Amino acid sequence: MVVLDGELRNAEALRRHLPRTVRLHALPPPPQPGGAAAAGELPAHVAAWLLSAAPGLQALAQELRALHAARLAALQAAPAAALASLWWPFTQHDDVALADVGLVDGRHGDALLMHDPRAETLRPMVDACASWWTQGVDAATQPALVRAIGHAAGRYGHVMFPENAHAPALQLAERLLAGPGAGWASRVFYSDNGSTATEIALKMALRLHAQRSAPPPGAPPPRVLALAGSYHGDTLGAACAGAPSVFNAPLQAPWYSPRAVIVEPPGAAVSALGGWHVSLPAWLPPARLAPSQLHFHCRGALFDPARDASPLGVAYRAHLRGVLAHSAGEEGLGAIGAAIVEPVLHGASGMHFVDPQFQRAMAQVCSSASVPLIADEVFSGLWRLGAPSACQLLGVQPDVACYAKLLTGGTVPLAATLASEAVFDAFRGAGRQQALLHGHSYSAHAVGCAAAVEAMDALADAARNGNRLGGEGPPRLRELWDPRGVQQLAALPAVSRLVCIGTVLAAELAAPAEGRRAHAARDVVRHLRAHGIFARPLGNVVYLMVTPMAPPETCARLLHALLQELCAEPEGAKEARERSVVC
Amino acid sequence: MVVLDGELRNAEALRRHLPRTVRLHALPPPPQPGGAAAAGELPAHVAAWLLSAAPGLQALAQELRALHAARLAALQAAPAAALASLWWPFTQHDDVALADVGLVDGRHGDALLMHDPRAETLRPMVDACASWWTQGVDAATQPALVRAIGHAAGRYGHVMFPENAHAPALQLAERLLAGPGAGWASRVFYSDNGSTATEIALKMALRLHAQRSAPPPGAPPPRVLALAGSYHGDTLGAACAGAPSVFNAPLQAPWYSPRAVIVEPPGAAVSALGGWHVSLPAWLPPARLAPSQLHFHCRGALFDPARDASPLGVAYRAHLRGVLAHSAGEEGLGAIGAAIVEPVLHGASGMHFVDPQFQRAMAQVCSSASVPLIADEVFSGLWRLGAPSACQLLGVQPDVACYAKLLTGGTVPLAATLASEAVFDAFRGAGRQQALLHGHSYSAHAVGCAAAVEAMDALADAARNGNRLGGEGPPRLRELWDPRGVQQLAALPAVSRLVCIGTVLAAELAAPAEGRRAHAARDVVRHLRAHGIFARPLGNVVYLMVTPMAPPETCARLLHALLQELCAEPEGAKEARERSVVC
d(CA B81, CA B258): 39
Q: Does A167 reach chain B within 8 Å, measured CB to CB?
A: yes
Query: Does the beta carbon of A163 lie under 8 angstroms from any beta carbon of chain B?
Result: yes
Contacts for B29 with CB less than 8 Å, ≥ 6 apart = B4, B5, B6
Q: What is the average pLDDT across B12-37?
A: 84
Question: Backbone phi, then psi, for B441, in 5-degree steps?
Answer: -55, -40
- A497: CB partners within 8 A, 6+ apart: A269, A507, A508
Handedness of CA A308, A310, A314, A317 (dihedral sign): negative
Q: Which residue of B has its CA nearest to A185?
A: B85
Are the C-beta atoms of residues A236 and A256 closer than 8 Å to each other? yes
Does residue B32 belong to any structural domain of this protein?
A: yes
Is the pLDDT assigned to residue A123 strictly greater than 90?
yes
Examine residue A44 and state whether it is found in any structural domain, yes or no. yes
Average the pLDDT over each of B43-47, B174-178, B206-210, B577-581 and give the range with the smallest value.
Answer: B577-581
* Helix, strand, coil content of chain B in percent (nearest 5): 40, 15, 40
Is B255 a domain residue? yes
Q: Contact B193/A440, CB-based, under 8 Å?
A: yes
- For residues A547 and A112, what is the distance between their CA atoms, to the nearest angstrom? 13
A:286-305 residues touching chain B, CB 8 A cutoff:
none
What pLDDT is recorded for position B292? 85
Tell me, what's the pLDDT at B571?
44
Measured CA to CA, the distance from residue A179 to residue A387 in angstroms comes to: 10
**What's the CA gap between A391 and A382, in Å, rounded?**
11
Q: Under an 8 A CB cutoff, do A159 and B238 touch?
A: no
Please, which residues 359-418 of chain A have a Cβ atom closer than 8 Å to chain B? Answer: 404-405, 409-414
Q: Strands B164-165 and A102-108, how do they pair?
A: parallel
Q: Is A309 on the interface with B (CB under 8 A)?
A: no
Q: Are B212 and B336 contacting, i.e. CB atoms less than 8 angstroms apart? A: no
Listed range (A256-260, A289-293, B471-475) with the worst mean pLDDT = A289-293
pLDDT at A582 over 50: no
- Number of domains into which chain B is organized: 3
Confidence label for B30 from pLDDT (cuts 50, 70 and 90): confident
Which residues in chain A touch residue B251, judged by CB atoms under 8 angstroms apart?
A: 207, 210, 433-434
Amino acid B185 reads: A
pLDDT per position as a tens digit, A293-310: 899 999 999 999 999 999
Determine which helix (DSSP H) or strand (DSSP E) holds A302, and give its type and residue range: helix A299-302
Contact state of B432 with A196 under an 8 Å Cβ cutoff: no
Each residue's pLDDT tens digit, A421-439: 999 999 999 788 999 999 9
The strand pairing partners of A107, in sequence order, are A112
Q: Is residue A182 packed enough to be buried (19+ CB in 10 Å), middle (13-18) or exposed (0-12)?
A: middle
Contacts of B428 in chain A (CB under 8 A): 92-94
A554/chain B closest Cα distance in angstroms: 18
pLDDT score of A37: 79
Q: What's A478's DSSP letter?
A: P
Q: Of A155, A121, A127, A151, nearest to A139 (Cα)?
A: A127
Decide if A149 touches B, using CB distance below 8 A: yes
A411 vs B133: CB contact, 8 Å cut-off?
A: no
Q: Which residues of A touch B82 (CB under 8 A)?
A: 165, 169-170
Based on the fold, state whether residues B231 and B349 are members of the same structural domain. Answer: yes
Q: Shortest CB distance from B441 goes to which of A133, A207, A424?
A: A133
What share of chain B in percent tops pLDDT 90?
A: 80
Q: Which helix (DSSP H) or strand (DSSP E) does residue B63 occupy?
A: helix B44-85
Chain B hits for A411, Cβ within 8 Å: 153, 157-158, 445, 447
From CA B344, how far away is CA A449, in angstroms rounded? 34
Per-position DSSP letters for A81-138, written without gaps between them: HHHHHB--TT--GGG--GGG-EEEEEEETTEEEEEETTTTEEEEEEETBHHHHT----
pLDDT tens figures, B554-575: 999 999 999 999 985 434 444 5
3-class DSSP state for residue A375? strand
On the 0-12 / 13-18 / 19+ scale of CB atoms within 10 A, A520 is buried
- Comparing CA positions, the residue from A488, A486, A468 lying closest to residue A478 is A468
A vs B, Cβ pairs < 8 A, gives 419
* B441 vs A82, A132, A431: nearest CB: A132
Shortest Cα–Cα distance, A307 to chain B (Å): 35
Look over chain A and give the mean of its residue pLDDT values, rounded to a whole number. Answer: 93
Q: Which residues contact A511 (CB under 8 A, 6 or more apart)?
A: A496
Indicate left, alpha or beta for A120 from its phi (over 0: left) and psi (-120 to 50: alpha): left
- C-alpha pair distances (Å), B391 with each of A177, B74, B401: 45, 47, 9
**C-alpha distance from residue B240 to each of A294, A494, B259, B576 (Å):** 46, 46, 5, 47
Report pLDDT digits (tens) over B212-257.
999 998 899 999 999 999 999 999 999 999 988 989 998 999 999 9
pLDDT digits (tens, 9 = 90+) for A105-122: 999 999 999 998 888 889
Q: Of B403, B419, B437, which marks where a domain is finished?
A: B437
> Which of A80, A101, A117 is the endpoint of a domain?
A80
Q: Is residue B172, in this structure, part of any structural domain at all?
A: no
**Mean pLDDT computed over B1-27:** 86
Mean pLDDT of chain B: 93
Q: How many residues does the structure list for chain A? A: 583
Whether residue B272 is found in the same domain as residue B400: yes
Q: Which of residues 428-467 of B touch A (CB under 8 A)?
A: 428-445, 447-448, 451
Identify the weakest region by mean pLDDT among A46-50, A205-209, B117-121.
B117-121
B210 neighbourhood in chain A, CB within 8 Å: 251, 254
Q: Do B93 and A432 touch (CB under 8 A)?
A: no
Do residues A422 and A502 both lie within one domain?
no
Distance CA A114, CA B151 (A): 18
Facing residues of A275 across strands? none
Find the mean pLDDT for residues B276-301.
Answer: 91
* pLDDT over 80 at B299, yes or no: yes
Domain assignment present for residue B136? The answer is no
Q: How far is B136 from chain A (nearest CA, A)?
A: 11
User: Do A356 and A425 share a domain, yes or no?
Assistant: yes
Same domain, A504 and A446: no
Torsion of CA A132, A385, A197, B190, to 10 degrees: 10
* Same domain for A487 and A421: no
Do A291 and A370 fall within a single domain? yes
Chain B residues with CB inside 8 Å of A401's CB? none
CA-CA distance, B339 to B373, in Å (whole number)? 5
Among residues B40, B59, B80, the one where a domain terminates is B80
pLDDT value of residue A386: 98
A 7-36 near B (Cβ less than 8 A): none
Q: Are residues A410 and A499 in the same domain?
A: no
Q: Are residues A308 and A417 in the same domain?
A: yes
Name the nearest CA neighbour of A374 among A221, A185, A112: A185
Concatenated DSSP letters of A252-288: T-TT----EEEEPPPEEEE-TTSSEEEE--TTS-GGG
Whether the pLDDT of residue B57 is over 60: the answer is yes
Q: For residues B425 and B564, state if they share a domain.
A: no
Confidence of residue B512 (pLDDT cuts 50, 70, 90): low
Domain with A336 in it: what CATH number?
A: 3.40.640.10
State the nearest Cα–Cα gap between A441 and chain B, in angstroms: 6
CA distance A473 to chain B (A): 27
Contact criterion met (CB < 8 Å) for B434 and A251: yes
**Which residues form the domain of A46?**
31-80
| Residues A252 and A336 occupy one common structural domain | yes
Residue B421, chain A, CB below 8 Å: the answer is no
Q: How far apart are CA A240 and CA A245, in angstroms?
A: 11
What ipTM was assigned to the predicted interfaces of this complex?
Answer: 0.93
Q: Is B517 on the interface with A (CB under 8 A)?
A: no
Reported confidence tier of residue B29, pLDDT bands at 50, 70, 90: confident
Judgement on whether residues A194 and A340 belong to the same structural domain of the protein: yes
Q: Is the pLDDT of residue B496 over 90?
A: yes
Is A533 part of any domain? yes
A383-398: pLDDT as tens digits: 999 999 999 999 999 9
CATH number of the domain residue B524 falls in: 3.90.1150.10
Q: Which residues pair with A408 in a beta bridge?
A: none
DSSP annotation of A577:
H
pLDDT at A395: 98
Answer yes or no: are the C-beta atoms of B418 and B178 closer than 8 Å: no
Q: B105–A445: do the CB atoms touch at under 8 Å?
A: no
Crossing angle of helices B552-566 and B520-528, rounded to 10°: 130
Q: What is the DSSP letter of A335?
A: -
